[in-house]
Structure 1
Amino acid sequence: MTALDETLLADGDGLVAADVTGVLRALASAGAQVREAIDLSAEAGLAKLADDERPRAVVIAALAGSSVVADIVTALAGRNCPVPVVVRHGGPLPSWVGPLDLVVAVSLSGRAPGPVALAVEAARRGARVVTVAGEGSPLAEIGARNGNVQVLPARGVRADGGDPRSSRVALWSLATPVLLACDALRLLSATATDLAGVADRLDAEAEASRPWSETFVNPAKVLALEVAGSVPVVLGDGDLMAAAARRSAAMLSRTARVPAVSGALPDDASEVVATFGGPFAAGTDDVFADPFLDGPAGPRLQLLMLRDAPSAVSDVDRRLADAVSTTAADAGVRVSEVVAEHGTPAQRLAQTVARTDFAAAYLALASGIDPAVSPQVADLKERLG
């Protein structure tokens, strides 16, 4: 297990120097991504979707790091969404999709095989297509056809100076146009004014989590220290925080190389609580333990609770979340919490995602890992050709 370098975590200049691919700067650009994406969406004529009848159903095509866009849409649309929202990562396109439906395809490069194939098939069947894709790409070409809409992703700050940027740090470049499209279709509320508030919330989180702030007052650094050396189980206390939990687990796995799983209350309460009696919850803090006789301590389970603002959670859901946290603590499982501040659902979700994004990046850097580059992922792609 790689030891966490707490000295580096406290050294802002050292963190920036270690972050050779610029992931921290890219994450800090999230607010700017939202503002630029609002302008690019207006230039693309995304608002004209409001002139047409609401589609019978919406299919969101997104793959890998871009798939969190679909999670955000379904979380904000809620269970009372007036039309079905279906998520697809690749083919085949559902057989019922036709001229009455809308397909939204998202790919930062515009070359992801799944979204491109789904958009091609949707256009062939006469469905309307909205694309968020890199300029000149195959996916952008489909969105530029008559009757469709193509939006360029906001440039923001590149993670490594290359092209395309990592979709993990360009989340809001991709999500903002999709949210504006869904607002125009009256599937959820995400006006340009609402999203400007999201940008402000993201800026505030970036300021609080900046590399040069002291560790003990930096919420992302504190969270990185708490999660270090653990097997995290990320649990959201409702539908909104469930989307944040899935994003957090993905960032911990891909960015910090920490195996993490996610769940949501109330559905996953029993499964998560059951693990508190398993081998990963059986660690000990015994000061008399002999590492030579007993062996090194293994990784311990860590419950990371992502909790919505108190005013947004029912008493029943709050009691359940409290009960899970108490059960974990009683079983010797460490518990960390991120609690969203008051605001719109999009603002609360954005704040929680930003906090855990920064924490994953700090955990990677302090562990001597480049948060943007995984040799194993590169090897896998090479083997697959």
Structure 2
Amino acid sequence: MYEFDDARLEDEDALREADPLLRPLAEAGARVRREAASAEVPLSRLDPDDRPRAMITFGPEARLLRAVLEPTCPVPLVAWPRLGLPGWVGPLDIVVVMGGGDKVSLAAAFEAVRRGCRLLVACPADSVLARQSASASTTLLPTSTGDPLAAAVVALVALHRLGLGPLVSPEAVADAMDLVAQESSLSLDATQNPAKAVALELADAKPMVWGGSILAARASRRIAEALRSASGRIVLSADAGALRPLLAEVPLRDPFADPFEETGVEQRPGLVLVDDGMDDEEAAEERIVLRESALAKDVLVSNLAHTQGTAVERYVTVLQQGLFAAAYLQIGLGRA
């Protein structure tokens, strides 16, 4: 069992050893800029008047694309998780594939070319997927960083230029990521660094992560995965209906218990609320109920929030906040 030591969050040697963990998070904005620069030429050739009948997306961030596009997309869209294409897909449709050489992406690209579909592919130019998807109807967005989120941002730019999605500025998204990296700098202590503060709040907790809007809920799942990997603990990301009964079952703290004498005490939950400022009325009410339920059981509530900018800028901000918090939790536990 790893024990959290808050001194590690200020220890220069421990932080230096954790550089492979923190540096990729700090460079997230740079990866977005690099992918956007690589795709400038193919992006410039896209025509918004050539609108498809429907859109089908594949890849690790296919559901992110769907979440961003659904509110305004003028055509039906599907994030397809299975091998091959739906039977109705044909030359009037566009297939968006993001990824490397996994079977699902390769099968989608092969079938799209065979059926004469329009293809938008984000992958390395020298990859098997690029070769598999090559056709007169294919637009290749060449990637080089191996970052699915950066590739998805560039794909969203392309889809906006095709008239299928909202305006997405790679520079603004990268700036948002850079700002989180600055605020989460290892040189700042927990009073100035919100990621370290959240890590301290979750030091001995089993986190429950919740987001109200579609994108905040997606970020909550990604953050829960990172916290699970960082701590080796059970971490749950679920809707409010699943979390409320769990909070209701949390026993109240014994005010007379001595934490220094008790051994084997079960870890209590910690509630992490992800807020991108885009809750609908129902989600706003659920947020209040979850917070009140947690506080009634003396469960610590942590907040990851950003309520300015476009939907994508808000998403990457709360996501990076959570990923940095998970990294500092891992460092504090001595697992880095």
TM-score by length of 2: 0.90
1:138 aligns to 2:115 (yes or no)? no
Aligned to 2:77: 85
Q: Do the aligned partners of residues 118 and 307 (structure 1) sit closer, same or farther apart at CA in structure 2, a change above 3 Å counting?
A: same
Residues 46 and 254 of structure 1: CA distance in aligned 2, closer, same or farther (over 3 Å): farther
Aligned to 2:269: 301
| Aligned partner of residue 216 in structure 1, secondary structure | coil
Q: Distance in 2 between matches of 1:214 and 1:131?
A: 42
Q: Percent identity?
A: 31
Partner of 2:201: 226
> 1:290: Cα distance to partner?
7.5
Partner of 1:8: 8
Separation in structure 2 between the aligned mates of residue 83 and residue 13 of structure 1, nearest angstrom: 53
Contact 2:209 2:274 in 1 (8 A): yes
CA contact (8 A) 1:283 1:298 kept: no
- Distance in 2 (alpha carbons) for counterparts of 1:84 and 1:125: 19
The 5 Å alignment of 1:172-191 reads 172-191=149-168
The answer to whether the 8 A contact 2:2-2:333 is kept is yes
1:317–1:115 distance in 2 versus 1, CA, 3 Å: same
1:275 paired residue number:
246
Q: What is the DSSP-based 3-state SS (H/G/I as helix, E as strand, rest coil) of the residue aligned with 1:217?
A: coil
1:198 aligns with 2:173: yes
Q: Residues 39 and 326 (structure 1 numbering): CA distance in 2 closer, same or farther, change over 3 Å?
A: same
Once the two structures are TM-superposed, the CA of residue 85 in structure 1 deviates from its matched residue by 2.3
Write the distance in 2 (CA, Å) between the matches of 1:283 and 1:291.
Answer: 18
Matched, 1:247 2:222: yes
Which range moves more in the overlay, 115-124 or 202-211?
Answer: 115-124
Q: Which runs of 5+ in 1 are unaligned?
A: 156-164, 371-385
Deviation readout 1:349-371 (Å, 9 max, x if unpaired): 1110110111112222222224x
Query: Counterpart amino acid of 1:271?
Result: A
* Paired amino acid for 2:257: F
> Which residue does 2:319 correspond to in 1?
353
- Partner of residue 24, structure 1: 22
Deviation at 1:23, TM superposition (A): 2.8
What does 1:1-385 align with in structure 2 at a 5 Å threshold?
1-19=1-19, 22-43=20-41, 45-51=42-48, 53-62=50-59, 67=60, 69-107=61-99, 110-155=100-145, 170-191=147-168, 194-263=169-238, 268-278=239-249, 281-282=250-251, 284=253, 286-289=255-258, 295-309=263-277, 312-313=278-279, 317-370=283-336
In structure 2, do the counterparts of structure 1 residues 255 and 296 end up closer, same or farther at CA, with 3 Å as the change threshold? closer
The aligned amino acid for 2:237 is S
Structure 1 letter corresponding to 2:289: A
**1:90 and 1:113 in contact (8 A); partners too:** no
**CA distance in 2 between partners of 1:18 and 1:290 (Å):** 30
Which stretch has the larger CA shift, 297-306 or 200-209? 297-306
Q: Displacement of 1:207 after TM fit?
A: 0.5
Rounded to whole Å, the distance in 1 between the matches of 2:254 and 2:312 is 40
- TM-score, structure 1 as length reference: 0.80
2:122–2:151 Cα contact (<8 Å) kept: yes
1:246-272 CA-to-partner distances (Å, cap 9, x unmatched) read 221222234543432223xxxx32221
How far apart, in 2, do the equivalents of 1:326 and 1:115 lie? 44
Tell me how far 1:240 sits from its aligned partner. Answer: 2.5
Aligned-residue offset at 1:113: 2.1
Following the alignment from structure 1 to structure 2, what is the Cα–Cα distance between the partners of residues 11 and 89?
44
